[in-house]
Chain A
Amino acid sequence: MREPVLSVRGLSVAFPTRRGSLTALNDLSFEIGKGEVLGIIGESGAGKSVTGSAVIGLLSPGRITAGEIRLGGLRIDGLDDRAMRRIRGKRIGMIFQDPLTSLNPLLRIEDQLVETILTHLNLTPDQARIRAIQLLDELGIPNPAQQIKSYPHEFSGGMRQRVVIALAICGEPDLIIADEPTTALDVSVQAQIIHLIKRICKERSTSVMLITHDMGVIAEVADRVAVIYAGRIIEQGTVANVVARPQHPYTQGLMSAIPPLERRPERLTQISGSMPRLTAIPPGCSFHPRCGFAFDRCQKDVPRLQGGDDRAVACHLYDEVVS
């Protein structure tokens, strides 16, 4: 990969708690290339949203304890609030699970879009309005010149999420962070939104960090995937490699737990136990207590992520061959 749009190196994040500091992310490294969609998957509480929040600088009360984040080569971790606010929206767009958190219920769609466009692009209010209508049109909202006068509640869930996408892309950012963008939507609307995100990447060469627990969405949209477990990336690579031929026992468990659409299995494959709480992460590989293949080294040494862009895995089973 040449010149990545986003480069995260050795990122660690901690949250203060009553019982001391809690490490939510531990030595995370990944890159997103131009026009590339990186999927982030993992169990609830693994650290997916925290990763997104760290990149956009909205971690509070957590803080980055190690590592660096570069956007287009420029270091953005540790920037002050004002500088970071300029980057959000202009260089990085955000789409969250619940469209209502990104929309102001009391303002017309028009006012919200025009205001955002004006803060990020050098346009007159009239030009900004025309741009906003164009955007809604591009995103498949019928009758955009009239619809732009609506309030958020007058739109269905799918329509609202389109408006949120319009808000996220109107500053023409290099990177979009989408945290569970389709979880609240039903399958037909979800399919439309997925194709929309895909099209935007193609047409504008925008990069996307797509956080979701829906492997089907990953299979359809992402180019590469990173699997997070208890605050660490345990496997990453191309979708074909990670989703269809996973190597890490956790990823393998995850993939075989997906119910198939094409037949009715006798029983779903499940991973026994649950992810350790961040306050009680076992030594060595944090997955070893649930792993059917664990051997002595797994209880002592933390496995490092080894491999290349197409495929990297953090598992002692692969040590000898890769290293």
Chain B
Amino acid sequence: MTEAALVRVEGLSKTFTNRQGLLGYVLRQKRRSSEAVKNVSFSIAKGKTFALVGESGSGKSTIARMVVGLLPPSGGNVLIDGIAMHGADLAHARQGLTHRIQMVFQDPYASLNPRWRVDAIVSEPILALRRETNRQAIAQRVAELLTLVGLHPADAQKYPHEFSGGQRQRIAIARALASDADFIVCDEPTSALDVSVQAQILNLMRDLQDRLGLTYLFISHNLAVVRYVADEIGVLYKGELVERGDGAAIFDHPQHAYTRQLIAAVPNVDALRREAATLADDRPTRARAEFP
């Protein structure tokens, strides 16, 4: 895997020192520092998906923010196509990377500017990068992107509030793709969605990966979702990567006690379905004839 790695995370660490905000002052909190991420390493091959799972507060979002360069690490580094994301060197080379990395945030309601029309939202990365200045060409590209994510070109004229949660998440994905990004970090992209919309988004992400060779870092606390999307999974526990492997290894032969605990905690419908499969079919004749 290493030879074709697009993303290499090497010994990444982050220690937060709590500043005494107003609330902390009022409540007389003690100043303390916490190690949110401890010496985490992994790599993602081009065109593959690496997923991070772990309980709330285990450091998933902190890693994501360091990977995309939004947060400086306390130690270690992130290399994308061999270029270090952090540190004084290579600042110039890093410039060329920004358009290749995009992030889809958990909450599609908060991450889209409600006053901007969809075309403004989607074309923003194109304009920012000055990749294209011709208005018609930009409109054309926006229409293409909207179609690609299963929306209608006419949706470009609408505002975010005119869309459902799942449609908004597609707008966020269209924007991520507008920049010609080939590496996309998704932080809980489907947690707020119901299962039917979730299936649409996950299938779309996989289609795009197949067609465009995208590389994903995918964060979720839904283990079944992770099993579906990931080529490799990393289990985070209190800031440490305690286990790594493909879906079969993690789910069928978990090594770490925490991984086993995590899997056991998932409320599961599979057992119920299996049970039902063994029962006789008592559906009305018409329906039985029509449903496979």
- By a beta-carbon cutoff of 8 Å, the part of chain A in contact with chain B is 41-45, 151, 153, 156-157, 183, 185-191, 194, 213-220, 239-240, 243-245, 247, 249, 252-255, 257-265, 267-271, 274-275, 293, 317-318, 320-322
Contact = CB atoms under 8 A, between A and B. Distances in A.
Given A187-B55, A268-B203, A317-B287, A261 B266 contact: yes
Contacts of A260: 224, 227, 270
Contacts of A217: 267
List 10 A-B pairs, minimum CB-CB distance, nearest first. Answer: A244-B276, A216-B267, A321-B284, A257-B199, A268-B199, A270-B199, A213-B194, A191-B265, A259-B224, A186-B56
Nearest to A322: B284
B197 A44 contact: yes
Contacts of B222: 187, 259
Contacts of A153: 23, 27
B174 to A, nearest CB: 16
A151 B27 contact: yes
Interface string B189-219: 0011111111110110010000000000000
Given A43-B197, A247-B287, A293-B291, A188 B265 contact: yes
Contact of B56 (A151, A185, A265, A318): A185
Interface stretch (B94-102, B130-138, B161-169, B179-187): B161-169
Contact of B196 (A157, A253, A318): A253
B193 A44 contact: yes
Contact of B164 (A45, A156, A157, A186): A45
A259 B224 CA distance: 6
Given A317-B286, A318-B286, A157 B56 contact: yes
A178 B255 CA distance: 36
Nearest to A316: B286
B268 A216 contact: yes
A267 B170 CA distance: 18
Contacts of B266: 187, 191, 216, 261
Nearest to A315: B287
A243 B225 contact: no
Nearest to B258: A188
Interface of B: 23, 27, 55-57, 164-167, 191-200, 202-203, 206, 221-225, 227-228, 247-248, 251, 261-263, 265-273, 275-277, 279, 283-287, 290-291
Nearest to A293: B290
A1 B285 CA distance: 28
A237 B213 CA distance: 44
A320 B221 contact: no
Nearest to A319: B286
A274 B279 contact: no
Contacts of B277: 244
Best-surrounded residue of A42, A239, A268, A269 (most CB of chain B within 10 A): A268
A189 B202 CA distance: 25
Contact of B251 (A44, A189, A255, A261): A261
Given A259-B228, A264-B247, 16 more contacts: A42-B194, A44-B193, A156-B57, A186-B55, A213-B194, A219-B272, A244-B273, A253-B196, A255-B269, A257-B199, A259-B227, A260-B224, A274-B167, A293-B291, A317-B284, A320-B286
